[in-house]
């Protein structure tokens, strides 16, 4: 793959409810921050990818409403409905097409303005599943149970993920929900849908973020700290939950294999220094780490227990606090990419991990991780 770099990043603070800012305001703040980070003006952006969801925003083709805010007048704009990692994947392809030297990718979400259970219920098949009332939490509970039953992963091991990530969030100024937790506190929080408890769940969040991608030629002119996209891949699996073994994340395994092959990663546990994965529920972190090949299938719980994924461990995972500490949907994956880029640049502030040369960012679309997008980022090409 021709080299593509992340040359600018911007994130708004993630909060439970941002009443002072409409979503175009959030998009403007994130875009402005990314331009400032890159030292660029909006004229230097060749094209734009926006990431939104009509159902969340309450209007059709909702990307229409943020054209002013992302500075896209007189530019080619395309829209992606899905997680930020998938939108940015599209942004990379636009740079690779040769038609655009720079691409701005921006995502927004205001969970506070709608009702998440009703909206996530609508992602299910209207004829065979929706009237059952299933939603993101209850479907994830089915996956958590399947994972625990298959491999003996314990609720305590999942609770450790929540303790770790909420703890890391204290060091991340944009995180919504830093919490001083213990395994006992998580375990004694009320069950929402067994085996998922309240403190295993991400909060509802508002936020936006933006990333500027550039070709090698343009990147060199823009920044002396480019973060290179070393490998990126996206794989999908079945829509209907019953068609998949929910404990086996084959689509993620495939996506990781492809991204690693591009990046020259042969032993993920050794070659990767840090990972930001989509931990909307605590059980997801160990499961996705298995899919990413950082440990064997069924070993994700033990990996968490070992302390290797802690901020000061050998392979910090969700040093930012992860989605558990703030989950503006769609934005969340873009934030994973941004966190990795900041870590590689050495700009992550208080939650900076040591020696981050190669990092992995991960995002999901669809119920129980129907699709996965894997990014391998590095400071050197």
Q: Which residue among 19, 221, 270, 381 contacts another protein (CB under 8 A)?
A: 19
**Is there binding between residue 115 and another protein (CB under 8 A)?**
yes
**Interface mask (CB under 8 A) for another protein, residues 244-283, using x and -?**
--x-------------------------------------
A 10 A CB-CB count for 270 gives: 11
Q: Which two tokens stand for residue 369?
A: 């991780």
Phi, psi of 378 (to 5 degrees): -155, 160
Closer to another protein at the Cβ: 226 or 367?
Answer: 367
How large is the C-alpha radius of gyration of the chain? 19
Closer to another protein at the Cβ: 9 or 241?
Answer: 241
**Is there binding between residue 98 and another protein (CB under 8 A)?**
no
CA distances from 141 to 138, 154, 200 (A): 5, 13, 10
**Interface mask (CB under 8 A) for another protein, residues 121-160, using x and -?**
x----xxxx-xxxxx--xx-xxxxxx--x-----------
**Is there binding between residue 182 and another protein (CB under 8 A)?**
no
Q: Which two tokens stand for residue 12?
A: 């708004």
- Which positions from 300 through 339 interact with another protein, judged by CB under 8 A? none
Closer to another protein at the Cβ: 196 or 303?
Answer: 196
**CB proximity list for 144: less than 8 A, separation 6 or greater:** 158, 195, 196, 200, 281, 283
Q: Three-state DSSP class for 369?
A: coil
Stretch of residues binding another protein (CB under 8 A), selected from 65-73, 156-164, 191-199, 265-273: 191-199
Closer to another protein at the Cβ: 26 or 344?
Answer: 26
Pick the closest to residue 142 from 374, 367, 377, 378 (CA basis): 367
Closer to another protein at the Cβ: 76 or 245?
Answer: 245
CB of 247 to another protein, least distance (A): 8
| DSSP per-residue letters across 163-205 | HHHHHHGGG-TT-S------HHHHHTSPEEETTEEGGGBPPP-
Q: Which two tokens stand for residue 365?
A: 């679309």
**Interface mask (CB under 8 A) for another protein, residues 38-77, using x and -?**
--------------------x-------------------
- Which positions from 212 through 241 interact with another protein, judged by CB under 8 A? 238, 240-241
Residue 341 and residue 335: Cα distance in Å, rounded? 10
Q: Which residue among 2, 68, 184, 194 contacts another protein (CB under 8 A)?
A: 194
Residue 219 and residue 206: Cα distance in Å, rounded? 31
Binding-site size, another protein (CB under 8 A): 38
CA atoms within 13 A on the CB side of 260: 18
A 10 A CB-CB count for 379 gives: 18
**Is there binding between residue 243 and another protein (CB under 8 A)?**
yes
**Is there binding between residue 20 and another protein (CB under 8 A)?**
yes
Closer to another protein at the Cβ: 238 or 261?
Answer: 238
Q: Exposed (0-12), middle (13-18) or buried (19+): which is 223, by Cβ within 10 Å?
A: buried
- CB–CB of 289/317 below 8 Å? yes
Closer to another protein at the Cβ: 244 or 336?
Answer: 244
Stretch of residues binding another protein (CB under 8 A), selected from 94-102, 194-202, 227-235, 345-353: 194-202
Closer to another protein at the Cβ: 130 or 225?
Answer: 130
Residues that bind another protein (CB under 8 A): 19-20, 58, 115, 117-118, 121, 126-129, 131-135, 138-139, 141-146, 149, 190-196, 238, 240-243, 246
């Amino acid at each position: 793959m021709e080299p593509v770099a992340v040359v600018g990043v911007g994130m708004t603070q993630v909060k439970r409810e941002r009443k002072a800012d409409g979503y175009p305001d959030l998009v403007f703040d994130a875009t402005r921050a990314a331009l400032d980070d890159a030292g660029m003006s909006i004229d230097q952006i060749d094209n734009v990818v926006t990431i939104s969801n009509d159902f969340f925003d309450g209007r059709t083709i909702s990307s229409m409403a943020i054209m002013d805010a992302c500075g896209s007048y007189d530019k080619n704009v395309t829209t992606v409905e899905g997680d930020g990692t998938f939108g940015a994947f599209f942004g990379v392809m636009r740079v690779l097409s040769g038609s655009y030297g720079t691409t701005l990718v921006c995502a927004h979400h205001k969970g506070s303005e709608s009702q998440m259970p009703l909206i996530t219920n609508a992602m299910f098949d209207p004829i065979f599943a929706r009237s059952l009332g299933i939603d993101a939490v209850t479907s994830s509970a089915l996956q958590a149970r399947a994972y625990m039953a298959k491999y003996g992963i314990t609720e305590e091991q999942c609770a450790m993920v929540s303790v770790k990530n909420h703890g890391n969030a204290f060091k991340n100024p944009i995180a919504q929900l830093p919490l001083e937790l213990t395994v006992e506190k998580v375990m004694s929080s009320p069950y929402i849908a067994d085996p998922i408890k309240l403190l295993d769940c991400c909060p509802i969040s508002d936020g936006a973020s933006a990333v500027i991608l550039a070709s090698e030629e343009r990147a060199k002119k823009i920044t002396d700290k480019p973060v290179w996209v070393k490998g990126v891949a996206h794989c999908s699996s079945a829509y209907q939950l019953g068609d998949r073994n929910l404990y086996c994340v084959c689509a993620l395994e495939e996506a990781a294999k492809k991204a690693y092959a591009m990046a020259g990663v042969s032993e993920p546990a050794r070659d990767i220094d840090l990972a930001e994965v989509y931990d909307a529920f605590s059980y997801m972190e160990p499961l996705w780490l298995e899919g990413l090949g950082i440990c064997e299938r069924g070993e994700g719980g033990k990996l968490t227990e070992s302390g290797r994924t802690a901020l000061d461990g050998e392979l910090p995972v969700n040093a930012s606090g992860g989605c558990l500490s703030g989950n503006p949907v769609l934005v969340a994956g873009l934030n994973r990419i941004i966190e990795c880029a900041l870590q590689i640049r050495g700009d992550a502030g208080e939650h900076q991990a040591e020696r981050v040369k190669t990092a992995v960012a991960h995002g999901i679309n669809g119920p129980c991780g129907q699709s996965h997008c894997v990014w391998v980022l590095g400071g050197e090409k």
